[in-house]
Amino acid sequence: MGRVNNYLLRSFSSLFSSLFFTLFFITSIVFFIKIASITSVIKITFFELGVLYIYLLPNILLYTLPVTFFIALSLSLFNLSKENETIVLFTLGYKPQKISKLFIIVASILSSLLIINILVLIPTAKQLNANFLDYKKAEAKFNIKATEFGQKFSNWLVYIDKSEQKDSFNGIVMFQEASSNKAEKIITATTANIDNDNGNLKLILDKGKAFEISDKKIEQINFSEMYIKSGEKDEVSKVVNILSYWEEALKNKKRAYNLAFFLLIALFPIATVLFALSIGIVTYRYEKNKIYLSMFTVIIGYLVPGFLLVKLANLPAVALVISISFICSYIFYRKKILLKY
């Protein structure tokens, strides 16, 4: 790689890194707010909050990297044009085609990495996130506290005298009201533990007594150990392999849309790299006030029609949008850059 290419990449990378961390921070705040809303349903620790954030990192990278690339490339070339450095390069025989070839390669590498992110990391992180939330929701249903009345375990009212650990209790009393064909029931136990087996939750009672009280008699049973299940199992989402996950897109419209939507964003660098070159390489005296409007126009002009078409046709729409974008960008690049420099 020549010195000019190294210089162009250094100029681009320094601006890219500063823009990326800014956008990454802003996007992370948005996702943190989304995570925080979960705490109204389940109780999670600070460490578990960090785990949920890690699961969202593939999505954050997908949304920030393509736009950062386009803006950074446009602005870095614009800054070089501002200092007349691009004019000097062209005068010395460094053709615009070499710049376009360099950054098309960079855009292709970035889009390839984003596609790997889409096909591998995002589905894995999404399934782990759903699995974690299902487990915490199931666990939250059995958040029994000591010395509080009115707590329920399945169809039992529960009172706990003392709790030394999270899922271990001492002095437990359980009551079940009489129904049309059942008598009142009371259970007392010395100790109790909650067992959570992938959402199949049960209460394990040790050394206690069970009473069944009807109008005519009272029956008592002494037990050394008793299991009381919560009822139906709270399903915890399963983690399937990547191939099975995306095969679902063949019959699941929502997953097919997600795949097409993600690919549309991932291929944004390739589709707009020539637009970025055309916007950034300017005659500063005459075009210094147009760059921000031009960048905004390209981003909106690509994403809005793209999202609308993806809703209608999914993957075929992605191929159509990418093709049209690249053809239009080449025509614009040829007219503004190649024929001029």
pLDDT digits (tens, 9 = 90+) for 103-116: 999 999 999 999 99
Q: Assess whether 211 and 331 both reside in one domain.
A: no
Mean pLDDT of 152-179: 78
Which pLDDT does position 169 carry in this prediction?
81
- As a three-state string, the secondary structure of the chain is CCHHHHHHHHHHHHHHHHHHHHHHHHHHHHHHHHHHHHHHCCCCCHHHHHHHHHHHHHHHHHHHHHHHHHHHHHHHHHHHHHCCHHHHHHHCCCCHHHHHHHHHHHHHHHHHHHHHHHHHHHHHHHHHHHHHHHHHHHHHCCCCCCCCCCEEECCEEEEEEEEEECCEEEEEEEEECCCCCCCEEEEEEEEEEEEEECCEEEEEEEEEEEEEECCCCEEEEEEEEEEEECCCCCCCCCCCCHHHHHHHHHCCHHHHHHHHHHHHHHCHHHHHHHHHHHHHCCCHHHHCCCHHHHHHHHHHHHHHHHHHHHHHHCHHHHHHHHHHHHHHHHHHHHHHHHCCC
| Whether residue 160 sits in one domain with residue 63 | no
Residue 260 scores a pLDDT above 90: yes
Residue 213 lies in a domain: yes
Q: Do residues 55 and 129 touch, judged by C-beta distance below 8 A?
A: yes
Among 177, 202, 229, the domain boundary falls at 229
Type of residue found at 21: F
More confident residue, 284 or 258: 258
What angle, rounded to 10 degrees, do the helices at 253-266 and 96-116 form?
A: 150
Among 112-121, 168-177, 291-300, the minimum mean pLDDT is found in 168-177
Q: What is the extent of the structural domain holding 32? A: 3-139+240-338
Q: Is the pLDDT of residue 238 over 70?
A: no
Q: For the segment 17-56, what is each residue's pLDDT rounded down to a tens digit? A: 999 999 999 999 988 888 877 766 577 778 888 888 999 9
The answer to whether residue 158 sits within a structural domain is yes
Same-domain status, 211 and 294: no
The answer to whether residue 144 is domain-embedded is no
Q: What is the mean pLDDT of the chain?
A: 84
User: Same domain for 134 and 155?
Assistant: no
Q: Give the pLDDT confidence score for residue 277 in this predicted structure.
A: 93
pLDDT at 239: 67
Residues 307-340: tens digit of each pLDDT: 999 988 888 999 999 999 999 999 999 988 887 7
225 and 244 belong to one structural domain: no
CB 341 within 8 A of CB 93: no
Q: Contact 75/15 with Cβ under 8 angstroms?
A: yes
CB 256 within 8 A of CB 249: yes
The predicted structure's pLDDT at residue 84: 80
Single pTM value for the model? 0.76
- Shared-domain flag, residues 30 and 119: yes
Instruction: Say if residues 172 and 158 touch (Cβ distance below 8 Å).
Output: yes
Q: Is 146 contained in some domain? A: no
How would you list the strands of the sheet with 156-165, edge to edge?
151-153, 156-165, 168-176, 184-197, 200-213, 218-229
- Find the length of the chain: 341
Query: In this structure, which amino acid lies at residue 192?
Result: A
Which amino acid, residue 308? L
Which of 19-23, 85-89, 202-206 has maximum average pLDDT?
19-23
Six token digits for residue 292? 């921000």
Q: Given a cut of 60, is residue 235 above it in pLDDT?
A: no
Predicted pLDDT of residue 244: 85
Q: Please give the pLDDT value at position 339.
A: 78
Domain end among 204, 229, 254:
229
Q: What are phi and psi of 251, to 5 degrees?
A: -125, -10
pLDDT band at 159 (very low <50, low <70, confident <90, very high): confident
User: 162-166, 250-254, 313-317: which has the minimum mean pLDDT?
Assistant: 162-166
Between 235 and 27, residue with greater pLDDT: 27
Q: Of the given ranges (10-14, 149-153, 272-276), which has the lowest mean pLDDT? A: 149-153
Q: What does the pLDDT read at residue 108?
A: 95
Report how many domains make up the chain: 2
Tell me which residue of 15, 7, 6, 2 sits closest to 276, measured CA to CA: 15
Q: Do 163 and 101 belong together in one domain?
A: no
Q: What is the pLDDT of residue 290?
A: 79
Q: Does any domain span residue 23?
A: yes
- Tell me what the mean pLDDT of segment 283-311 comes to: 85
